Amino acid sequence: QDLIVETIEEGLQRSPDLIIEVAHPNIIEKYAEKILDVCDLFIGSPTALANESIENSLRRKTIESGHVVYIGTGAFWGAEDIGKMNERNTLCSLSITMKKHPDSYKLNEPLHSKLIEQRTKLGDQPGEIVIYSGPVRELCRLAPNNVNTMAVGATVASSLGFDRVQGCLIADTSLSDRHIVEIELSGPETIVNENDKVKFHTKTVRSNPAEIGAVTGTATLLSFVSSIKRAKGRTAGIHVV
């Protein structure tokens, strides 16, 4: 009981080394800079960074304070390799598709109404409903609780960013026991066999056990814990771990 605090301010008075946010991107908007005055911050709702002014202010604040922002890889498979490509400026495109049971989505308008309408039309018939397809930045605003994986991808692939990383959100009633995340990317063309042009390409499919209605799959929770253990020893800035 002695360890429980009622407010962020009370928690900061205890001089923590790291504060972990697992609530909502609004918390980052309201409290992140205040937290960085005191300690490092682990963001569990990276969709907050789709707001460009928030991302820029946090980057400036880490430089001013010397504290660090960490983001867990979560369900974003292959973050380290994609980060390497980003560093070498060889990442040409990145798309992230997430598929879940309709009951696992918590959507803002107009996506909420769109899902209800399309699900009504589908009735008892199995099938996929494409809720959104386009730049990740806008989707983060419309589905902040569901697309943290996409926000991680846009952060790792900073050379493309939230405007050029593409996201596709799909509802599928057949996915009663898992979430699917498909990550597809391309790199530059290379000449092989003297005159054949071949482009680098890779695609991963992550099938994560999950209950109907769950926002987060079971393996992602374990990934999150491992990321927290790695959240140390970095220089100022925003780091995916």
Collapsing DSSP to helix, strand or coil, 22 comes out as coil
What's the rounded mean pLDDT across residues 150-169? 98
160 DSSP 8-state letter: T
Residue 56 has a pLDDT of 98
Q: Do domains 8-75+223-240 and 79-215 have the same CATH topology?
A: no
Query: What are residue 171's DSSP bridge partners?
Result: 100, 129
What gap in Å lies between CA 116 and CA 48, rounded to an integer?
26
Give the pTM. Answer: 0.93
pLDDT digits (tens, 9 = 90+) for 38-61: 999 999 999 999 999 999 999 999
Residue 123 has a pLDDT of: 87
pLDDT of 184 over the 90 cut: yes
Q: Which helix (H) or strand (E) holds 135?
A: strand 128-135
Residue 125 binned pLDDT confidence (cut-offs 50, 70, 90): confident
Task: Region of 129 please: left (phi>0), alpha (psi -120 to 50) or beta.
Answer: beta
Domain 79-215 listed as CATH 3.30.360.10: yes
What's the average model confidence in pLDDT over 98-125?
95
Identify the DSSP state of 233: S
Q: Residue 147 and residue 139: Cα distance in Å, rounded?
A: 8
The Cα angle at residue 171 between residues 169 and 172, in degrees rounded to 5:
135
**Secondary structure of residue 115 in the 3-state scheme:** helix
Domain boundaries, the chain: 8-75+223-240, 79-215
Q: Where are the alpha helices (DSSP H) in 37-157?
A: 52-65, 79-87, 111-122, 136-142, 148-156
Domain at 8-75+223-240, CATH homologous superfamily: NAD(P)-binding Rossmann-like Domain (3.40.50.720)
> How does pLDDT run across 73-103, given as a tens digit for each residue?
999 999 999 999 999 999 999 999 999 999 9
